[in-house]
Amino acid sequence: MTAPFTFNTAPSIVFGEGKATEIGALAAGRGWTRVLLVTDPGLVTVGLVDPCVASLAASISRASIRFIRSPGCSFPPVRSVT
């Protein structure tokens, strides 16, 4: 028998061609001032990371958004969580 649990999802998902270039405006529109951009080598290879970084960088001057890019994720995970 499965123990009871709560599952929460994102309030919205933005999807579509070119949407990666809008991440800075989306963050600013939500009032965010700090963003953690977690990437992996696959996202870099398909070209999704650079547009996100450029959009967030442009938001720094307009909306005072600070961001950190974390490129160190790997799959499968190298460490288990118990």
CA distances 48 to 11, 23, 81, Å, are 22, 11, 28
Residue-by-residue pLDDT tens, the chain, 82 positions: 788 888 888 778 889 999 999 989 998 888 888 888 888 888 888 888 899 889 988 887 777 777 777 766 555 555 555 5
CB 56 within 8 A of CB 37: yes
Structural domain boundaries in the chain: 20-70
pLDDT at 19: 92
User: What's the whole-model pTM score?
Assistant: 0.66
> d(Cα 23, Cα 26) in Å, to the nearest integer?
5
